[in-house]
Structure 1
Amino acid sequence: MTTTQLIEQIQHKKSFLCIGLDVDLNKIPRHLLTTEDPIFEFNKAIIDATHDLCVSYKPNMAFYEAHGLKGWQSLRKTIDYINERHPEIFTIADAKRGDIGNTSAMYAKAFLEDLNFDSVTVAPYMGKDSVEPFLTFENKHAIMLALTSNEGAFDFQTQQTEGEELYKKVIRTSKTWQNSHRLMYVVGATKAEYFAEIRKIIPKSFLLVPGVGAQGGSLSEVCQYGMNDEVGLLVNSSRGIIYASGESDFAEKAREEALKLQQEMRDIMHLASI
């Protein structure tokens, strides 16, 4: 998917909502555990209930890898279902991969070619040769960790190096890499005040923003500091939507929570004349 197509979806749906499909078998409704593939049945119901309210789905790989082959089968069924039923939706493999040379090339092939995700999250600690292999696929994207929402982010990311914070140096450096126009960046919602500084470096890039909802991030603050004239944001909510209910009405309740966020996003876009 091109960024132009993603922007068109945002404008059409008046939404920049990304829904994280982080399926924990200990949290899904008990009746699904009797089905042949509980993970896929849960995802299918969430997708059917919310696809018109969001522009992106983001399965976190850990929740599938933990179940071995069955988990990967559930993942493939999920991404195939999205691509076949809702090809306009931007898909993110939240894998946070990053290694050098042929290893990154194989990770990229697995997620962007074999599974046919639109994008994959990557870790930049090993530098350009760990990220550039993900940027060779036309109309695909790598979403690079820039400033994360966890407590440990302060261990390294905000430390001063050569007169500026490390996260800024990482973002600046990434702009010099081959096919860097295919880069997006992860910036945590719980650090909303940093968005203005980040926008000085990458004013047009899309930012994937976790941390709204269950982690306490503020959508209005994220938009105040991070939105550009094309929105330029994918704001993710996982637990706050998919686990809104643990009963048989889980999909209906998920839709209600997604609708609340979509309506807030619609209002923010209206005020910004987007």
Structure 2
Amino acid sequence: MTTQQLTDQIKIKKSFLCIGLDVDLTKIPPHLLELEDPIFEFNKAIIDATHDLCVSYKPNTAFYEAYGIKGWQALQKTINYINSNYPEIFTIADAKRGDIGNTSTMYAKAFFEDLNFDSVTVAPYMGKDSVEPFLAFNNKHTIMLALTSNEGAFDFQTLETNGIELYKQVLKTSKTWKNSQNLMYVVGATKAEYFAEIRKIVPDSFLLVPGVGAQGGNLQEVCQFGMNSTIGLLINSSRGIIYASNGLNFAQKAREESLKIQTKMRQIMINWTQSKIGN
């Protein structure tokens, strides 16, 4: 999927919601555990109930790898189901890969060619030659960790080196890499005050923003400082949507929670458009 196609979907759906499909068998409705593939059946129900309210799905691969081959097969069935039935959806493999060049190439092939995800998250700690193999794939996107929402983010990411915070150096350096136009960045919603500085460095890039909802991030603040001319944000919500209920009505409750967020996003987009016209 191209960036323009993603932007078009945001305009059509009046939404920049990404739903995290982080399936924990201890949290899903008990009646699903009787089925042959409860992970996939859970995902399928969530997807069918919410696909018109979001523009992206983001399975965190750890929640599938934890269940061995059955978990990986459920992940494959999930991405195949999305691609076959809702091809307009932007898919993210939240795998946070990052290794030396030839290993990164194999990771990229796994997610871009075999599973056919639109994007994958990567860690930049090993530098250019660990990320560029992902960037080599046409119409695929590499979502690089920049400033994360966890408490430990302050251990390294905000430390200054030569008078500049490390996360800013990561952003600036990544722009010099080959095919950097295929980069997106992870920026945690709990760091809303940092978005203005980040936009000075990467004004046109998409930002994947976890941390709204259960982790305490504020949607309005993120949009105030993080939106650009094409919206440029994918706001992720996982637990608050997919575990809204563990009863028979779990998919409907997931839809209701998604609609609440999408309604807020619609109004934010209307207000943003009106403010631009006013200026």
Q: TM-score, normalised by structure 1?
A: 1.00
Counterpart of 1:11 in 2: which secondary structure? helix
Question: Unaligned regions of 5+ residues in structure 2, if any?
Answer: 275-279
Aligned residues: 274
RMSD: 0.6
Counterpart of 1:109 in 2: which secondary structure? helix
Could you report, residue by residue, the CA deviation over 1:88-109 in whole angstroms, capped at 9, with x for unpaired residues? 0000000000001110000000
- Give 2:258's aligned residue: 258
Q: Structure 2 CA distance, aligned partners of 1:76 and 1:101? A: 25
- Give 2:162's aligned residue: 162
Q: Structure 2 CA distance, aligned partners of 1:18 and 1:128? A: 27
Amino acid in structure 2 at the alignment position of 1:193: E
- Give 1:228's aligned residue: 228
How far 1:229 moved relative to its partner? 1.2
Q: Structure 1 CA distance, aligned partners of 2:190 and 2:250? A: 27
Show the 5 A alignment for 1:92-171: 92-171=92-171
- Give 1:26's aligned residue: 26
- Give 1:249's aligned residue: 249
Q: Which runs of 4+ in 1 moved over 2 A?
A: none
Q: Structure 2 CA distance, aligned partners of 1:6 and 1:205? A: 12
Counterpart of 2:214 in 1: which secondary structure? coil
Amino acid in structure 1 at the alignment position of 2:148: T
Could you report, residue by residue, the CA deviation over 1:117-166 in whole angstroms, capped at 9, with x for unpaired residues? 00000000000000000001100000000000000000000000111100
Question: Unaligned regions of 5+ residues in structure 1, if any?
Answer: none
Q: Structure 1 CA distance, aligned partners of 2:67 and 2:132? A: 30
Show the 5 A alignment for 1:68-83: 68-83=68-83
- Give 1:269's aligned residue: 269
Q: Structure 2 CA distance, aligned partners of 1:241 and 1:232? A: 22
Counterpart of 1:15 in 2: which secondary structure? coil
- Give 1:66's aligned residue: 66
How far 1:57 moved relative to its partner? 0.1
Amino acid in structure 2 at the alignment position of 1:226: G
Q: Structure 1 CA distance, aligned partners of 2:141 and 2:229? A: 21
Q: Structure 1 CA distance, aligned partners of 2:90 and 2:264? A: 20
Could you report, residue by residue, the CA deviation over 1:159-212 in whole angstroms, capped at 9, with x for unpaired residues? 001111000000000000000000000000000000000000000000000000
Counterpart of 1:272 in 2: which secondary structure? helix
- Give 2:202's aligned residue: 202
- Give 2:11's aligned residue: 11
Q: Structure 2 CA distance, aligned partners of 1:109 and 1:92? A: 14
Counterpart of 2:15 in 1: which secondary structure? coil
Could you report, residue by residue, the CA deviation over 1:204-250 in whole angstroms, capped at 9, with x for unpaired residues? 00000000010010000000000001100000000000000011100
Q: Structure 1 CA distance, aligned partners of 2:143 and 2:211? A: 16
- 2:83 equivalent to 1:54: no
Q: Structure 1 CA distance, aligned partners of 2:179 and 2:54? A: 27
- Give 1:187's aligned residue: 187
Q: Structure 2 CA distance, aligned partners of 1:141 and 1:162? A: 30
- Give 2:277's aligned residue: none
Q: Structure 2 CA distance, aligned partners of 1:92 and 1:149? A: 18
Could you report, residue by residue, the CA deviation over 1:49-90 in whole angstroms, capped at 9, with x for unpaired residues? 000000000000000000110001000000000000000000
Amino acid in structure 1 at the alignment position of 2:87: P
Q: Structure 2 CA distance, aligned partners of 1:143 and 1:149? A: 15
- Give 2:178's aligned residue: 178
Q: Structure 2 CA distance, aligned partners of 1:258 and 1:213? A: 12
Counterpart of 2:5 in 1: which secondary structure? helix
Q: Structure 2 CA distance, aligned partners of 1:101 and 1:32? A: 41
Q: Structure 1 CA distance, aligned partners of 2:42 and 2:128? A: 37
Amino acid in structure 1 at the alignment position of 2:97: R
